[in-house]
Amino acid sequence: MTDQTLEVTGGVDTHGETHHAAVVDRIGRHLADREFPATGTGYRQLLSWLSSFGTVRAVGVEGTGAYGAELARTLRRTGLKVVEVDRPDRRTRRMKGKSDPIDAYAAAEAVASGRATGTPKSRDGIVEAVRTLRVVRRSAVKSRTQAINQARQLLVTAPETPRAQLRGLTADALAKACARLRPGTDLADPAQAAKAALRRLGRRILALTEETDELEAELKPLTTRAAPELLALKGVGADVAGQLLATAGDNPDRLTSEAAFAHLCGAAPIPASSGRRDRHRLNRAANRALHTIVLSRMRWDERTRAYVERRTGEGLTKKDIMRCLKRHGAREVYRILIKSLHTPHTGRDATQSDLAEAA
């Protein structure tokens, strides 16, 4: 019979259709492993199976931002501590092999030994809603830009007749003009084929523009509701605020300090020097959002311009000055996020902060 007083640690290797779970005891001995379907029923079966071995101290889950997202939410709702576990690197896999049971046991051992301590994003509040809509908006903007570039490239090689009609137009005017083209029926004629292609691209650009505008109209009130103080900062618009919110997650207190947030945003340079060459490597997660803030302040904010002038006089390069400004911006943003995402206007349930702390 199972000793119900035994403390155990779980580990889960996640996949699209199935999850493989493993259990180890306090000193890392392998107890059992089993595969479960990646469904609501499978999550409940996995939880019941883990509990059958004793008191579950914590569960290490790989891919909490992808295949393991819903499993992590399910485990957290029951009060279990969920730890984010990185997938084994190539060197470890060459030494120990690669299989679902091996990866599941490795996740459990990483948590039991204390090597893995990261708290995953809770993904259960308004910030997750912002992140989800931003994914669609980003793809719409990218596709629109691609369509505009394709239309301009077609014009370069098109016969003079359509080129004369569309030469020198802005992107919006070009899309509308292309959508109004009326090609003939003989598509074997290069001029008519060009008109047909440009008309389709014009209609595509207009449709993507409308989709982008709709998404921006939906995202702005959500971002304002999540962190109004963040939008009040100089240089922070709805798009930048949405990126910073998505980086922090619904539970930014999972980050131990503002320095940790700065590292996540790429505002804490990682030393990568060798010999006489002094350089740094950046983590690029939300660095672009901070870069936008800094550029805006360097142009419009008097205090920032005075700082740039002073540091330039001290011999710093523009790149180094921007790095300092990004670090300051990350500190400022982190304090606002910690404050904003724990106030009632976010619409989070009263118990979610407690669950986030427990995880």
CATH number at residue 47: 3.30.420.40
Q: What's the average model confidence in pLDDT over 61-81?
A: 93
Q: How far does Cα 266 stand from its chain's mean position?
A: 13
Contact indicator for 256, 119 with CB cutoff of 8 Å: no
Q: Which of 195, 226, 257 is the last residue of a domain?
A: 226
Q: How far does Cα 107 stand from its chain's mean position?
A: 23
Which of 4-18, 93-107, 150-164, 305-319 bottoms out in mean pLDDT, i.e. has the lowest? Answer: 93-107
CA distances from 216 to 135, 221, 253, 298, 325 (A): 12, 9, 28, 26, 28
Q: Specify if 266 maps to a domain.
A: yes
297, 257: one domain: yes
Report the distance separating Cα 183 and Cα 171, nearest Å.
21
The total number of structural domains that make up the chain: 3
Is residue 1's pLDDT more than 50? no
Summarised one tens digit per residue, pLDDT across range 156-169 is: 998 888 888 888 89
Dig out the tokens for 164 from the structure: 């004369």
Q: In this structure, which amino acid lies at residue 161?
A: T
Report the distance separating Cα 212 and Cα 218, nearest Å.
10
Report the distance separating Cα 336 and Cα 227, nearest Å.
8
84, 171: one domain: no
Q: Specify if 58 maps to a domain.
A: yes
In the predicted model, what is the mean pLDDT of the chain?
A: 86
Q: Which of 194, 226, 258 is the last residue of a domain?
A: 226
Q: In this structure, which amino acid lies at residue 65?
A: G
Contact indicator for 24, 9 with CB cutoff of 8 Å: yes
Q: Which of 226, 242, 274 is the last residue of a domain?
A: 226
What pLDDT does 277 receive? 57
Q: In this predicted model, which residue has the larger pLDDT, 312 or 90?
A: 312
Structural domain including 321 reads 229-358
pTM: 0.80
Summarised one tens digit per residue, pLDDT across range 200-252 is: 999 999 999 999 999 999 999 999 999 999 999 999 988 999 999 998 899 88
Q: Specify if 119 maps to a domain.
A: no
What pLDDT does 52 receive? 93
246, 222: one domain: no
Q: What's the average model confidence in pLDDT over 33-38?
A: 96
Question: Whose CA is closest to 239, among 255, 217, 266?
Answer: 217
